[in-house]
Structure 1
Amino acid sequence: MPGTAVSSHAPRIRWHIVVFLAPAVLVYTAVMILPLFDTLRLALYDEVEGQRVFVGLENFRTLFGDPNWSRQFWNALANNFWFFLIHMAVQNPIGIALAAILSNPRLRFSGFYRSAIFIPTILSFVIVGFAWKLILSPIWGIAPGMLDAIGLKSLFAPWLGREETALTTLALISVWQFVGIPMMLIYAALLSIPDEILEAGECDGVTGFSAFWKIKLPLILPSIGIISILTFVANFNAFDLIYAAQGALAGPDFSSDILGTFLYRTFFGFQLQLGDPHMGSAIASAMFAVILIGVCLYLFGIQTRIRRYQL
């Protein structure tokens, strides 16, 4: 219509966002995305008479169909699940309990306690693995003497040298090293709870442990969910501690073998075993699939229920 000015503004491109994100995207693509796709590609090939030949899913058929390969894979996968379950059942509940205790404003020296619990997380896997191997050694370790001092020497056993206890012992060592991470995350979540909510609970007579169970715990469920999925991803990518303490063979008799050590031996070779990059890539692809399925189950299952619970 005459006299009516119609102004159309094209959406502006915010170049500053592109500029700031570009370095991170390029680095992440170079060190994560491209190697991931190259690993998936390598799993579809094999070496035949010195030539790289496309074989499709043949490496995966060998991994899951050949008795020798499948036995090792399912053993490593089962050990990985046990490693993860111990962290979920021991590490995270202890981290939540420590965070609840340390968030008490009446607790003295809470900063010192937080630092002391968190320090092991910054130690090298090699140092932790070697140190605990020395501590638990039945020959020169200090564990037998410490148990003897309190009258419990009869309970000592070469836990790292027994098939039935090696993996559980290593998982508990990992719990000792990383319990500070869930503790700090839950501690931060507890401090973010508004004081008005807690004061309202006190007016209704909800205090102490009852306040934590009925008020604080429901409010920190999203943080607990994030810690759970981080624990899942970290444990199914685990390698360093097992390798440092038990070596690439993950002894005794592969009882502490997990997907990470199985992948290492297959891809790079070990002792008289020659490396096979193509089968190693197939194992890495299977690891990626397991982690991806676990993350998707969390995002589309557990996280959705947590949001409904909050609403």
Structure 2
Amino acid sequence: MAGKKPIRWHIAVFLAPAVLIYTAIMILPLFGTLELSLFHSSPDGRTFVGLDNFRTLFGDPRWAASFWNALANNTWFFIIHMLVQNPVGILLAALLSHPKLRFRAFYRTAIFVPTILSFVIVGFVWKLILSPLWGVAPSLLDLFGLKALFSPWLGKEEYALTALGLVSVWQFVGIPMMLIYAALLSIPDEIIEAAEIDGITGVAQFWKIKLRLILPSIGIISILTFVGNFNAFDLIYSAQGALAGPNFSTDILGTFLYRTFFGFQLQIGDPNMGATIASMMFFIILVGVCLYLFAIQRRLRRYQF
């Protein structure tokens, strides 16, 4: 028939490799984890137990205490990034987007470089820097007469998680900075010129004009921060080990999952309970992403330039 549209087989051909790889390394392991959480393993084989592992996680005082402690620490870790990393990233992007600022490329590169460093390197180096025995932090504070403010932050339960959260902020602040910087550059010059004609310049221009135009980008950064922080593991593990000391004060869902699944020291690994924790991490992230997509993103006004 003359009016019949041709089937575009080339689209499926080009998408097939990406779909197959994504399915193999993401979809199948996800369903495998969910399946594993519904079974109990014993020397006699696997037994289907339904939601009993979840009941154990929330009903057994030993498991529940560890889970809620890890979840609370994870939440605080996320809040630190939302209250410090993203606002600082927006501020840096606003400063670097100023047309009269010199050496902008150098500053952008210097701030972004830590994001490409290995977690192991970052955790080990900052542990050395903050060490009260051989670290350079006491000496640096002493140069400004502030040595009295130094404390072994990574060794105190009340400070350890916050200190590691700020280290993570230092490492990843370049990501929101670059995303917001790109969003600011995409604002048409006509809008900026119109604002200047109306007498809106400087800080007022950013708050009244630019900030509203980049709200969708800020929303994307926020949800990426949420997903990244509730999947966190590497920095805590490299700095504080699998036990996430002192006294589990830096224990997050990632380290809790690691100890449970693989075992550590005197704790015997339990893949089924580990899969249960991993499933809860997935559901928490899924709920957070859905809340953003259906409750927040719909209300963000998008501007067509």
Q: State whether TM-score is above 0.5.
A: yes
Name the counterpart of 1:252. 246
* Superposition deviation, residue 307 in structure 1: 2.8
User: C-alpha displacement at 1:9, in angstroms?
Assistant: 2.9
1:1-150 maps to which residues of 2 (within 5 A)?
9-150=3-144
Residues 238-293 of structure 1, C-alpha deviation per residue, up to 9 Å, x if partnerless?
00000000000000000000000000000000112111000000000000000000
SS of 1:105 mapped into structure 2: coil
AA partner of residue 188 (structure 2): P
In 2, the alpha carbon distance for the partners of 1:10 and 1:266 equals: 58
The aligned residue for residue 171 of structure 1 is 165
- How far is 1:91 from its partner? 0.1
Residue-pair matches, total: 304
Match of 1:267 among 239, 258, 261: 261
How far residue 308 of structure 1 moved from its aligned partner, in angstroms, is 7.9
Cα distance in 1 between the residues matched to 2:12 and 2:171: 39
Residues of 1 paired with 2:14 and 2:42: CA distance?
46
Match of 1:276 in 2: 270
Residue in structure 1 matched with residue 155 of structure 2 by the alignment: 161
- Structure 2 counterpart of 1:71, which letter? A
SS of the equivalent of 1:91 reads: helix
Aligned position for 1:4: none
Structure 1: state its 5+ residue gaps: 1-6
**SS of the counterpart of 1:46?**
strand
TM-score (norm 1): 0.96
2:216/2:302 contact within 8 Å kept? no
Match 2:287 to one of 293, 296, 299: 293
**Rounded Cα–Cα distance in structure 1 between residues aligned with 2:302 and 2:122:** 41
* Residue identity opposite 1:110 in structure 2: R
Alignment partner for residue 183 of structure 2, among 186, 189, 193?
189
SS in 1 for 2:272: helix
Helix, strand or coil at the partner of 1:248: coil
TM-score in terms of structure 2 length? 0.98
Per-residue deviation, residues 156-214 of structure 1 (Å, max 9, x unmatched): 00000000000000000000000000000000000000000000111100111111111
Give the structure 1 partner of residue 216 of structure 2.
222
Letter in 2 for 1:44: L
1:208-249 Cα shifts (integer Å, max 9, x gaps): 111111110000000000000000000000000000000000
Q: 1:48 offset after TM fit, Å?
A: 3.0
Identity of aligned residues (%): 76
| C-alpha separation in 2, matches of 1:265 and 1:108 | 49
Gapped runs of 5+ residues in structure 2? none
Following the alignment from structure 2 to structure 1, what is the Cα–Cα distance between the partners of residues 284 and 227?
10
Which residue pairs with 1:211 in the alignment?
A: 205
Task: Please tell me the residue identity of whatever aligns with 2:283.
Answer: A
| Distance of 2:176 and 2:218 partners within structure 1 | 8
Give the structure 2 partner of residue 3 of structure 1: none
CA distances 1:89-108 after superposition (whole Å, capped 9, x unpaired): 00000000000000011000
What is the RMSD of the two structures over their aligned residues, measured on CA atoms? Answer: 1.2
How far off is 1:16 after superposition?
1.4
> Aligned partners of 1:205 and 1:17: how far apart in 2?
51
**Which letter does structure 2 place at the counterpart of 1:29?**
T
Q: Secondary structure at the match of 1:53?
A: strand
- For residue 17 of structure 1, report the CA deviation from its aligned partner: 1.1
**Residues 17 and 309 of structure 1: CA distance in aligned 2, closer, same or farther (over 3 Å):** closer
User: Counterpart of 2:286 in structure 1: which amino acid?
Assistant: L
